[in-house]
Chain A
Amino acid sequence: MKHRIYRFLFAALILALLLAGCYDRRELNTLGFVMGVAIDKGENKDEIELSLQMAKVTGSDQSEPGSGSKESGTGGDSYINVSASGESINQIVRDMEYKVSRRIYVPHNQVVVFGEDMARQGIRDGMDFFARAPEARATVYVLVAKGKAADILEADTVFEKMPSSDLKKIIDEQDITSTVPQTTLYDIMNDILSRSKAPILPYIEIIDDKGSKRINCLGSAVFKNDKMIGHMDLQQTRGTLYVLDKVQTGTMTVKFKDAAAAAEIRQSKSKVKLSLKKDGGVKAEIQVRQTVGIGDQKGTLNIANAENIPVLLKESEKTVKEEIMAAIDKAKELGADVFGFGKSIYRKYPRKWKEIEENWEEVFREMETVVKVKSKADGSGRIMRPIAPAVQ
């Protein structure tokens, strides 16, 4: 009987302890959801300027049953941008609470944009917070903006309510062009930790499109370790993505005598074969196999026939080869192993890697690369010939 009372008291004690808890309880309407982050170089040395884009959650529309038409959030209404500068991101985020009435909540962040200046100085310090914070996600996209990153967050919205959401969706959709890398924080971490592979990040800018500020993709920013050292244009980027086997679909123009066709990459698969040369160098053979179809065409020449399809295939092979070669040239010029050849050598020839690790940059510059592209034809779509009367 007595021990029942003790047990009861103990249970009550525990319950009281728990009820006094609620340490991590935060109601939804006390949080400021960060949707986008821009990190720029601060005015003073060693300072970081951090801009956060936060969703401005407005009350439910039902509260005013009278108002029939719902104002679609036009830019400024559905988000606010806050910036501050300081030594460390954590410090700045805390300091921002001076200006923001809600707890800054990072886990739903969708993009981290680095300004070019900051990127050239190194992104490690900027990334650390987002890799370390327990709730933040490693699948967030990381990008580099030409000019100031904070400007990206000021862009006019397209479909989404916030520029950062727009930006995320833009990068999401790049598997249709395969000319911009979809780099996540996790990818960058992996690249930097691999010692040799150079990360490439999407390189974006703000352009003036008929009076409105729009985001535009420029290709990719090439990093060495955590520092940006240059950038690749769209074609070179696709060349790089070919080597990395990350091309899914895309399109290229193939010219004929009096016609032109858009060769659509429907499928692509690539392989890198490494071999050691007798003189101590390394040879990389890049094999690309892809399926190409006709996206559209100009002129009246029928391309989808036995005569012209091989030409189309050959031309597309040539274009791809050129793209890859351009990428390799650019990478060699920058001395950045964006293809992860170093890692591949380490995997295949770990002993050899130990020898060349010291001066890998040089070895990479002098590497022999062979590109082999094989295209296969796919369908011509719903029409078999251009819309022109057939020649009798």
Chain B
Amino acid sequence: MKISVKQAGYTAAAFIFTSALLTKGVYMYLRQDSWVAVILSFLVSLIFVYIYATLNKWFPSKSLIEINEAVFGKIIGKIISAGYLFYFFTLIILNARDISGFVGYILPTTPYVVIMVAFIYTCSWAVRKGAWNIASYGPLIVFVSLFVIMLNGLFLINDIELNRLAPAFTFPPIKYIAGTHLLTALPLCEIFVFFMFVPYLQKADGLGKVLFRGLTVGAAALLFIVIRDIVILGDTLLILSQPTYSVIRLIDVGDILTRVEILYAGILISLMFIKISVLYYATITAAARLVKTSSHDYLIRITGALAVIFGLSVFSAEYEHMDWTNRAAPIYSSFFIMLLPLLTLGTAAIRGLNRKNK
């Protein structure tokens, strides 16, 4: 069975949604103006989605690895593909780290290794069932999450102070650029990973539609969450280590409807599960296509084990992780999801591959 555009689109939205629930970095740059960065980065991301879509149109039903080989030739193509493989793998590690950090917040004395093994193992189970499977429950989880987030917003309606959005546009432009870059590179353009799903799409050149849908829904959720955080948290936004989570903890409707963060934790874990499954899947297929093997089982096991090992050792403490996310990650990420695709597109255009394929 092939994946429909809708399914893949909402799964891509889940991808952005996950990071939206962990939004933190952009507040450091822009505080009450963070929503501006969301809108700007949405617009910037549209451009990149267009680039990805064009690549997909030129090479319909081909995954990233095959496009690289077609554009750059066997050797360079493989090197670049290996780079992507590494990028996907690091994303698994970082997100696994994120989720175990969050769960560690709920279960403080449980060692990360237990959390991570349990989580990665479940993901590997999902990966083993294939892309269609991931895309089939992706939309379901996104709908439920959207509903929960809206509901939470409703419960907090008394805590909203709209004037916390003011004053607008008071920061130096460089901060807007930094915030926009952060949001573009980290959650929004990460949906680039869905390039690995192209061979399984119902429409061979439907990636553009998939990404557009994912981007729109995801960015809308991100915008909602960012604005909600700003109008509810105000100045505490800056010192909380989990702003979006702390917002939910403020809910207190008549002493009974309180402590609903269990819902937040539930949707975060579910969304993160989808995100890591997708990344995991992308890594596996990229590796399999790179070395031209079909024994996915071994790859899944090896990748899972490596992800756990690196996930545990990559950062020694939470602050290091935060620092990396805010400073190095956007640049690191933009190399792979902005620069390389542009390069690929340019090379393909120069070599006239677009015409040949038409």
A interface vs B, CB < 8 Å? 3, 10, 14, 17-18, 21, 23-24, 134, 137-139, 186, 189-190, 193-194, 344, 346-348, 350
Contacts and interface: CB of A to CB of B under 8 A. Distances in A.
B111 A23 contact: yes
Interface in B239-284: 239, 246, 249-250, 252, 258
Contacts of A346: 167
B100 to A, nearest CB: 13
A17 B246 CA distance: 31
Contacts of B258: 139
A348 B167 contact: yes
Interface stretch (B54-62, B102-110, B210-218): B102-110
Interface string B35-50: 0000000000000000
B114 A23 contact: yes
A17 B114 contact: yes
A134 B108 contact: yes
7 tightest A-B contacts by CB? Answer: A193-B235, A347-B166, A23-B110, A350-B167, A24-B107, A23-B109, A350-B170
B252 A347 contact: no
Interface residues of B, number: 28
Contact of A24 (B109, B235, B249, B250): B109
Nearest to A20: B114
Contacts of B233: 190
A17 B110 CA distance: 12
A139 B114 contact: no
Given A193-B235, A347-B163, A21 B110 contact: yes
A125 to B, nearest CB: 15
Contacts of B109: 23-24
Contacts of A190: 233-236
Nearest to B237: A193
Given A14-B121, A23-B110, A350-B170, 12 more contacts: A10-B301, A14-B118, A18-B118, A23-B114, A134-B106, A137-B249, A138-B236, A139-B249, A186-B236, A186-B250, A189-B235, A194-B234
Interface of B: 105-111, 114, 117-118, 121, 163, 166-167, 170, 233-236, 238-239, 246, 249-250, 252, 258, 297, 301
Contacts of B110: 21, 23-24
A307 to B, nearest CB: 40
A139 B106 CA distance: 18
27 contacts: A3-B297, A10-B301, A17-B114, A18-B114, A23-B107, A23-B110, A23-B111, A24-B108, A24-B109, A134-B105, A134-B106, A134-B108, A138-B236, A139-B249, A139-B250, A186-B236, A190-B233, A190-B236, A193-B234, A193-B236, A193-B238, A193-B239, A194-B234, A347-B163, A347-B166, A348-B167, A350-B167
A36 B79 CA distance: 62
Contacts of A3: 297
A185 B72 CA distance: 59
Nearest to A137: B249
B105 to A, nearest CB: 5
A299 to B, nearest CB: 40
A194 B246 contact: no
Nearest to A347: B166
B167 A347 contact: yes
DSSP majority for the A interface?
Answer: helix
Contacts of A139: 249-250, 252, 258
B167 A194 contact: no
Nearest to A136: B249
Contacts of B106: 134
Contacts of B301: 10
A97 B142 CA distance: 45
Contacts of B246: 138
Nearest to B258: A139
A14 to B, nearest CB: 6
A138 B249 contact: yes
Nearest to B159: A186
Contacts of A23: 107, 109-111, 114
Contacts of B118: 14, 18
A347 B106 CA distance: 36
Contact of B166 (A14, A24, A348): A348
A23 B117 CA distance: 15
Contacts of B170: 350
B111 to A, nearest CB: 7
A66 to B, nearest CB: 35
A347 B234 CA distance: 12
Contact of B117 (A17, A24, A193, A194): A17
B150 to A, nearest CB: 22
Contacts of B252: 139
Question: Which residue among B105, B109, B235, B258 has the maximum number of chain A CB atoms within 10 Å of its CB?
Answer: B235
Contacts of A189: 235-236, 239
A344 B97 CA distance: 40
B117 A14 contact: yes
A348 B117 CA distance: 51
A248 to B, nearest CB: 12
Contacts of A348: 166-167
A13 to B, nearest CB: 9
Given A138-B249, A348-B166, A21 B114 contact: yes
A271 to B, nearest CB: 11
A391 B179 CA distance: 75
Contacts of A186: 236, 250
A138 B237 CA distance: 13
B53 to A, nearest CB: 40
Contacts of B107: 23-24
A350 B258 CA distance: 36
A123 to B, nearest CB: 16
B206 to A, nearest CB: 35
A23 B109 CA distance: 6
Nearest to B255: A172
Contacts of B239: 189, 193
